[in-house]
Amino acid sequence: MSVLQEISSNVKNMKQLEYSALARRLKQIKEDLRQGVRKPFKEVIDVSWGDPHRGGMKPLTFVRQVLAACLYPQLLIDNKLPVDVRRRAQKLLDGCAGRSVGSYSATGGIPEILQRVSEFISRRDGGVPSDPENIFICCGSQWALTRILNVLVNAEAAFTTGVLAPASCHRTTTLSIEGLGGVVIPYYLSEEQGWELQVEELQRALESAEGACNPIALYVINPGNPAGHVQSRRSMQEVIRFASEKRLFLLADEVYQGCIYGEKEFVSYKRVLAEMGPPLSDTVELASFHSASKGFMGECGLRGGYVELVNLDPAVQKYIYNLFTTDSCAPLLGQIALDLMTNPPLPGDPSYFQFDQETQHIKSTVVKNVKKVCEAVNGLQGFSCQGVEGGAFAFPRIHLPAKAIQKAKDVGMQPDTFYCLKLLEEAGVLASPGSEFGQKEGTFHIRFCILIPHDVLEELLRRLTHFHSQFMKDFS
C-alpha cells in the first residue's frame, strides 16, 4: 500500500546532494577516530558549513546573556548580569504572551520586535521608510525564502515557473525551487572579474530559457555565497532595471550584509531601489532576506530570519500571510536574536565595551584569515583565488590534472568531489566541492568557511598545502 506512485514528481525530481557521500564518510572517520584508529590527523576540521560556532568562533556574551535571562528569569533577580542585559530581557519578555518565551507569538513575529527590526532597516538604508507590516520573521531566512518561492512558483501552471539564480549558488535555494516544481535558470558570475554579476549574462540566461519556462523571479545573493563578491551600487542599479524590464520579482538574499572585509560597503537592494526614484521605486517587487545565523553573531541554531517585502500587491501579501499562518510562529529565541542583532548595545551601555571588543576581535580575525587564505591558496600550483570581499567563504578555483579527472570519472564522481573526498581522508579537512553549487562547465572549485579562529585556519592551510602538493604529484 505504498504511496510511492502517488508522490508528486516535483518531490521525486529533487536532486539528492552529492555532498551526502562526503557527509557519510565524515561520520565514519569521526567514529574511527573515537575508536582510536590511527590517522594522519587527530581531528577533522569541518569547514563545509557557513556556521561560525561549529568552527570554534565564540558566541557574543551580550546575546547569550539576554537570551539566558529570557529563558530563566531567575537570572534577573540577582545582580550578576549587567543592568542593560536585565533591562533588555525584561523588555523583551513584556512582548511575549504570559511573559514567557514558551508561548506562541503572532504569525509574522512579536510586534515589538518587528517594529525594532523595521527601525534598523530604515537606519541602515539612510532613512528609507520601512513598515513592520511588510516584515515576516521566520524559522531562519532559508525558510522565509522557501515560503516566498512557494507563492511565486506555480506548480499547476501549464508552463513551468523559472527562477534565475546564480551559478555558483547556495544549494538549498535551488533545491527548494525544484522541490516546488519550478526550474532554475542558472546565470554565471564572472570569476575573472572577481565574481561580478553582469547584466549581459542575465540577458543570455533569460534568452536561453525562452520557450522552456516562464521566468518570474531573479534571485541574487549579495554578499555572495559561495563566491564572496560584494556588489557595487552601479551593478545593483543595472540588475534592478533588468528586473523591471523583464517583469521579474527580485529576491535579494542579503544574509551576509554584516560580513564585509574589504573596501566595499554593503548597500541594500531596497535602498538602491528607493534612490532610483519612480517609476522603478514604486513598481519593482522585491523581497529582501536577513538572518541571525550570519554576521558576527552567527547564531544559526536559534533559527531566526526575516523577509521584508517591498512594492507587493496587497492581495499577494495576503496569500503570503496565509501561508505563514500554517507554520505557526518562528522560535521566540530566534526572534529575540534578531532583536539583538538589529539593536546591539550602544556606546555608554554597560555591555558596550565587551560587545565591541568581541565583535572587533571576530572582525579582525576574519580580515586576517581572508588575507592569509588568498596568499596561501594563490601560492599553490593549480589553485587561484579571487579576493574575498564579504560572506563566509573562500571559493578558490582548482585546475585539476587530467589524470585526476580521469580517475574521478572511473569511480563515478565529480572531479572536485573526488578531490574533497581525498582531502578529507588524507588530511582531515572537509571542504565542499564546487559541483555542489553549480559552476562553469570544465571548471572546478572548493569552498570552505573562513569564519573560523585564526589558528584553525592556519592548521587548515597547512594540511591543505601538504595534501595538495602530494595530490598534484600523484596525478601528474
Using CB under 6 A, which residues numbered 159 to 188 contact ligand PLP? 170
- Binding to a second copy by residue 100, rule CB under 8 A? yes
Rounded Cα distance between 255 and 222, Å, is: 8
Nearer Cβ to a second copy (10/359): 10
Nearer Cβ to ligand PLP (103/283): 103
Q: From 392, 332, 344, select the one nearest 138 (Cα to Cα).
A: 332
Nearer Cβ to a second copy (143/188): 143
Q: Are 255 and 293 in contact (CB under 8 A)?
A: yes
- Please state the closest distance from residue 144 (CB atom) to ligand PLP, in A: 8
Out of 83, 155, 212, 346, the only residue in the binding site for a second copy (CB under 8 A) is 155
- Binding to a second copy by residue 152, rule CB under 8 A? yes
- Binding to a second copy by residue 199, rule CB under 8 A? no
- Binding to a second copy by residue 153, rule CB under 8 A? yes
All three cell numbers of 346, joined, read 550602544
Nearer Cβ to ligand PLP (162/390): 390
- Binding to ligand PLP by residue 255, rule CB under 6 A? yes
State the maximum Cα–Cα separation within the chain, in Å, rounded to a whole number.
Answer: 68
- Binding to ligand PLP by residue 142, rule CB under 6 A? yes
Q: Which listed option, a second copy, ligand PLP, none, makes contact with residue 154 (CB within 5 to 8 Å by class)? A: a second copy
- Please state the closest distance from residue 304 (CB atom) to a second copy, in A: 8
Q: Which residues between 252 and 311 bind a second copy (CB under 8 A)?
A: 283-285, 293, 298-303
- Please state the closest distance from residue 303 (CB atom) to a second copy, in A: 4
- Binding to ligand PLP by residue 48, rule CB under 6 A? no
Q: Are 392 and 325 in contact (CB under 8 A)?
A: no
Q: Which listed option, ligand PLP, a second copy, none, makes contact with residue 402 (CB within 5 to 8 Å by class)? A: none
Out of 105, 107, 141, 235, the only residue in the binding site for ligand PLP (CB under 6 A) is 141
Q: Which listed option, ligand PLP, a second copy, none, makes contact with residue 100 (CB within 5 to 8 Å by class)? A: a second copy
Show contacts of 69-74: CB within 8 Å, 24+ apart: 70/96, 70/101, 70/333, 70/336, 71/101, 71/333, 73/99
Task: Name 65's Cβ contacts closer than 8 Å, sequence gap at least 6.
Answer: 81, 82, 85, 351
The residue with its CB nearest to ligand PLP is 140
| Region near a second copy per CB under 8 A, out of 118-126, 325-333, 387-395, 415-423 | 325-333
Nearer Cβ to ligand PLP (105/291): 291
- Binding to ligand PLP by residue 221, rule CB under 6 A? yes
| Region near a second copy per CB under 8 A, out of 47-55, 116-124, 343-351, 390-398 | 47-55
Nearer Cβ to a second copy (214/232): 214
Rounded Cα distance between 47 and 33, Å, is: 18
Nearer Cβ to ligand PLP (304/344): 304
Out of 121, 300, 332, 400, the only residue in the binding site for ligand PLP (CB under 6 A) is 300
- Binding to a second copy by residue 216, rule CB under 8 A? yes
- Binding to a second copy by residue 154, rule CB under 8 A? yes
Omega within 30 of 0 (cis) for the link into 345: no
Out of 50, 108, 181, 344, the only residue in the binding site for ligand PLP (CB under 6 A) is 50
Q: Which listed option, a second copy, ligand PLP, none, makes contact with residue 225 (CB within 5 to 8 Å by class)? A: ligand PLP
Nearer Cβ to ligand PLP (81/337): 337
Q: Which residues between 51 and 90 bind a second copy (CB under 8 A)?
A: 51-57, 59, 64-65, 67-68, 71-72, 75
